Amino acid sequence: MNKSNPIKHLSDIEKFKSYFEHHERDWLLFSIGINIPVKTNTLLSLKPSELNREEDLYYFIVNEHTIYLSEEISDRLRAYIVEHAISDDEYIFKSTKTKRVLTRQQFHRILTDAKKDVHYSGVLGSQALKKTFAYQAYVQGVDIRQIQQICGHHTKAETYKFIDVNYEDARFIQLNL
């Protein structure tokens, strides 16, 4: 089994989002997955009754940290739930064929197909979206200790390994003022 990696380049994230643009369920799965660091099974088994909402934004509480979805993702998620008449106790992300909750294997197939079509060379496994969240949070300046807490890691070294960042490289600082 291959170790998954975070999607490090924003251009690659945009390629995936563009690929999923006409498949709303898959766009939402991918977009929520890279914006909220939860396990794949948690994401796949999400129900409307489990969503937290403040005004027009959905948010999740992950290891005592409140993480909001963007306005675009919140709007599209709300519209998807309404359009598909998903009741509070139903799974949001169901198979179009079986009408049952998507399995990890089905989701992995969705990601693998997308990976081929967008010519992405990285390794995408079950943790790739959570790793992408953590990596992108890190490069956008979120403190590694906070990412460590959100991800439930015991050490910073574990978090650096999770996001595929060399600890020695992370200690290098250069200002160009």
Domains in the chain (CATH in brackets) are: 10-128 (1.10.443.10), 130-170 (no CATH)
pLDDT digits (tens, 9 = 90+) for 46-81: 999 999 999 999 999 999 999 999 999 999 999 999
Are β-strands 65-68 and 52-54 bridged in parallel, bridged antiparallel, or unpaired? Answer: unpaired
| Cross-strand pairs, 66 | 61
Distance, in Å, from the CA atom of 157 to the CA atom of 110, rounded to the nearest integer, reads: 31
**Checking phi first, is residue 98 left (phi over 0); if not, alpha (psi -120 to 50) or beta?**
alpha
The answer to whether residue 39 scores a pLDDT higher than 50 is yes
47 contacts 134 by C-beta, under 8 angstroms: no
pLDDT digits (tens, 9 = 90+) for 111-160: 999 999 999 999 998 799 999 999 999 999 999 999 999 999 999 999 99
Q: What is the mean predicted confidence (pLDDT) over 11-18?
A: 98
